[in-house]
Structure 1
Amino acid sequence: MVGAIGLGCMSFGGPYGPTTEAECFRTLARAHDLGVTHLDTANIYGNGVSEQTIGAYIARSGHEFVIATKAGIINQPVRRYDNSEAHIRSSLEDSLRRLGREHVELFYIHRREADRPIEEVMETLARLKQEGKIGAIGLSEVSPGTLERAQAIHPVAAVQSEYSLWTRLPDLGLIRACETYGTAFVAFSPVARGMLTGRIPDPRDFADTDFRKASPRFIEPNYSLNLKRIQAFNAFARDTGRSPAALAIAWVLHRTGAAIPIPGTRTAEHLEEDVAAADMVLTASDIATIEELLPVGFAHGDRYSDRQASGPERYC
């Protein structure tokens, strides 16, 4: 029901560096031109800035998208999770106001509140759907077991999880569960937070607010060890006439027909590279070479710091 590749809009809120409304508008306009129909945002991305930007663009342009947003994370004064009906309803109403809508096509629980039964949460979401506030229900960073329990209450349209050549945890059950239930597997960070591109980020340039600054994979000696591997992958992509970003996203699409990658970018030029993956055909030789260059488990360091890792469910 959406294009093969969506657009992750977390970067509109500034976690990877400053941006402008004009730059974001240009990216959204190019997304529309390229046939990217699905936008993914959340209430915490820039404390509402991402949603406001999308809402302002749609109001000005008249372009329509299939929009997903999320709720359930509270960052201040300390990071915690709240999946109560009161909080979810309040968050959704705020998101709809920022987006300039009365309805959002997909609404995720951004992180599961561990002590609250998922059955209770699904009943809340089902009521919101019945009321016409949301079109479909999604869950983010959950285990296959949670998806199974949730599915018993109401169909789950999408499960979002980080997935790329350097983050393969969903291979250990989650993708299979999505395929079993007919649930879309929405893969965020398919280009490894910028590493699997032709513009490899340098941690020395990260602002203090950059999400990656605390990620162990971007801290020495892990960063240099990861860089050595990834440079070989990027060279292979260029030698075969493809951008590293498109090749990395094409690999995700190759892994399962349930996948909808949502690379995040704030520039139209980067989005053009990402979308090219939809038409890329990978041969058996391509796959063999990619797996040799970036074998499963190659990444040094955890994907999240201890603080960042408090919300995603661990199931292996």
Structure 2
Amino acid sequence: MDTIAQAARVALGHTDISVRPIGLGCMGMSQFYGDADERESVATVHAAIDAGIDHFDTSDIYGAASGVPSRNGFGHNEDLLGRAIGGRRDEVVLATKFGCRLHPDGGVTFDGRPEYVAEACEASLRRLGVDHVDLYYLHRVDPSVPVEDTVGAMADLVQAGKIRAIGLSNVQPDILRRAAAVTPISALQSEYSLWAREVEREVLPTCRELGITFVPYSPLGRAALAGRFTADSSFAGDDFRSTLPKFEAENFAHNLRLVEGLKDFADECGYRPGQVALAWLLAQPYAIAPIPGTKRAEYARQNAAATAVRLSADDVAFLADLFDPAQVRGGQYGKLNVRTS
């Protein structure tokens, strides 16, 4: 069986940085999907590295983002990941994000001011315990600051050796083009999976045109595509899925019927549903580097093994038809507690 270490690497934009095809999103180790045990989370990072995963994704806001209760606080996820990769920094490509700050009322506000860019980066470096990060994202665009000003300040960080490459998160093609006209953009991160395919219309073609690598978050549909849920599954108040339209009772029951088709297909192939879902992403005609998240070493190893799945063109088309966007019920997000001032 091919391993992730044998798989072709994915270049980040036009840089000399490359990653293995499957990464690890660390957000859930601090928030969004219920409580997490820190020792288990650290062990999961170690297991992921041992399995050949080298792309690790975090953000300064993970642990304090609005909408889901958390006891951890701002910067927790970076601190946790920094401790986990201690002594193994040279084995990982490290990505983090900035641009979301806590509002006094408990919500989140966006800050893309040039003076904040350097401040946020220095704080992230301290928490991570490193002298540079490989990929630094603007997590959300500040509507009060031209994106050109924000990415211009990020370019200064590249020149200073604080970051190696620049990324954006959750932006539309017009913003992406404006940013790319100022400085090279190496990666764009947005949601993409079999059951969330909005980016196929314009975002992915724009990335290909501009030579930008696409980094899908939630590539397993927030674990739904792993095939472990039933229509009776419920999500506690500290689980972000309890707020999402796709997971509302009627929508969820309908969407799980589509997942049953994925499970049947995976059984026939001899793989797990989540592995097939990741392989479908890797089969798309773009530079793609998914970052499925997990708090458990077992699942990190399973995700890494998805690079062994071989899908034919007919398989890819069958799965795309199975999850035709017109058949998937529920939008991306519910109501978010975001402040603009």
Normalising by structure 1, what TM-score? 0.93
Specify the SS of the correspondent of 1:108: strand
Shift, 1:310, TM fit: 8.9
Q: Say yes or no: does 1:19 pair with 2:36.
A: yes
Indicate the RMSD between aligned Cα atoms, in angstroms.
Answer: 1.9
Mapping of residues 77-226 of structure 1, within 5 Å = 77=105, 78-200=107-229, 205-226=234-255
Contact 2:58-2:77 within 8 A present in 1 as well: yes
* Partner of residue 33, structure 1: 50
CA deviations on 1:28-81 (whole Å, 9 max, x unpaired) are 111111211110000011122211111112225566311000011124322221
Sequence identity (%): 38
Q: Say yes or no: does 1:72 pair with 2:89.
A: no
- Matched residues in 1 for 2:319 and 2:191: separation? 19
- Unaligned residue ranges in structure 2 (runs of 5+): 1-17, 64-73
Distance 1:110 1:203, change over 3 A: farther
Normalising by structure 2, what TM-score? 0.86
- Matched residues in 2 for 1:287 and 1:310: separation? 40
Q: Say yes or no: does 1:262 pair with 2:279.
A: no
- Matched residues in 2 for 1:191 and 1:50: separation? 21
* Partner of residue 8, structure 1: 25
Specify the SS of the correspondent of 1:96: helix
Shift, 1:213, TM fit: 1.2
Distance 1:310 1:299, change over 3 A: farther
Distance 1:25 1:201, change over 3 A: farther
- Unaligned residue ranges in structure 1 (runs of 5+): 312-316
Distance 1:124 1:201, change over 3 A: farther
Specify the SS of the correspondent of 1:139: strand
Q: Say yes or no: does 1:51 pair with 2:68.
A: no
Contact 1:138-1:158 within 8 A present in 2 as well: yes
Shift, 1:233, TM fit: 1.5
Contact 1:164-1:252 within 8 A present in 2 as well: yes
Q: How many residues align?
A: 311
* Aligned residue type for 1:286: D
Shift, 1:205, TM fit: 3.7
When structure 1 is superposed on structure 2, of 230-239 and 158-167 the one drifting more is 230-239
Contact 1:166-1:298 within 8 A present in 2 as well: no
- Matched residues in 2 for 1:215 and 1:161: separation? 16
